Amino acid sequence: MNTKPITIDGREVGPDSPPYVICELSGNHNGSLERALELIDAAVETGCDAIKIQTYTPDTMTIDSDLPDFRINGGLWDGRTLHDLYREAHTPYEWHAPLFARARQHGVTILSTPFDETAVDLLASLDCPVYKIASFEITDLPLIDYVARQQRPMIMSTGLASLGEIERAVTTARASGCDDIVLLHCISSYPAPTDQANVRTIPHLAQAFDVQVGLSDHTHGTATSVAAVALGATVIEKHFTLARADGGPDAAFSLEPDEFRRLTADCRDAWQALGEVSYRLQPAEKQNIVFRRSLYAVRDIAANEVLGADNVRSIRPGHGLAPRYLPDVIGMRARGPIARGTPLAWPLLE
């Protein structure tokens, strides 16, 4: 898996760079601009590479209806209407400029997920450097076409999508002028069970579409993201909150600041640990090579005495002949006296 790296807002994203970690704020502002700004400040302190919000209104997402089609059955939001949920979770359009300004004051990239053309137009007016397509929108090819025409990198979550649907989304984006694409493997369940994460899909996505790949992680904790990095993920996206106890539509599967700091650090450590295929002696090992076993005299040996199991053994440290020479040494004679604790060398033997 060695696909061409891309650049997002000046930062290279690819296998030769640390994973690009996106801190997803979603609806965890709980309807408060002040809290949304606090979330950005706290996100910056986690060491993330980018902060993501979502750009929609309840009326651009759905209609206000109590009909069964528009009511959620089961899961985290059981019983709520779609319009009610999106009214609570949406980030008002008038907040976008101050949120973008706050992130940029910190020198951190901010991006968003648009859900219709009005959202794309708003983000374009704010010079959004990269656009995200949500997993539920990956089949909305007109939206993907409109976003791709902005001539900015695109990140697309693949949750719920078949291989054919992913192919159509990627083909549409490329045909509309976007070649800088990241596909995020995703399980669109909130939260997602770890045993259904299937992160082995990540290298297959890279191979199938020749794009950068990553994970939009809705599982609890950080282990799934770390596993994804080990399998080649170059982008990690995870939800963030100031405190799960404060509630909010996505709080239950979001990480708190200390947890997100650990996520960022662990993902980068996992990437660093990948290294390269190597059987060379590493710098950190050099001082310990002496603790290998080697052949030593384990009692005083007289001149011309035959060497055997009673006076020669393979022990630590490693200053003598390698243990593989033990069968050759047994039966040889000492050229002169050999004191106990002497590492064996060929000039001592005949």
Which residue matches tokens 């979502």?
Answer: 54
**C-alpha to C-alpha distance for 336 and 333, rounded to whole angstroms:** 9
Tell me the C-alpha distance between 240 and 225, whole Å.
14
The pLDDT value given to residue 348:
98
User: Residue 267 and residue 187: Cα distance in Å, rounded?
Assistant: 19
Domain ranges of the chain: 10-57+92-274, 283-348
By 3-state DSSP, what share of the chain in percent is helix, strand and coil, each rounded to 5?
40, 20, 40
What is the predicted pLDDT for the residue at 76?
84
Q: What are phi and psi of 184, to 5 degrees?
A: -105, 115
Which CATH number applies to 283-348? 3.90.1210.10
- Res 77: pLDDT: 86
Which string of DSSP letters, residue by residue, matches 33-101?
HHHHHHHHHHHHHTT-SEEEEEE--HHHH-----SGGGB--SSTTTT-BHHHHHHHH---GGGHHHHHH
Which residue ranges of the chain lie beneath pLDDT 70?
A: 1-2
Cβ atoms 17, 6 nearer than 8 A? no
Residues 112 and 103: their CA atoms lie apart, in Å, by: 12
Going from the C-alpha of 11 to that of each of 7, 90, 235, 336, the distances in angstroms are: 5, 28, 12, 67
pLDDT of residue 97: 98
Q: What is the DSSP string of 290-336?
A: GGS-EEEESS-B-TTPBP-TTTEEEESSSSSS-GGGHHHHTT-BBSS
Pick the CATH number of 10-57+92-274 from 3.20.20.70, 3.40.718.10, 3.90.1150.10, 2.30.40.10: 3.20.20.70
Token digits for 306?
């035959």
d(CA 248, CA 253): 10
For residue 208, give the H/E element and its range.
helix 201-209
User: What pLDDT shows up at residue 2?
Assistant: 57
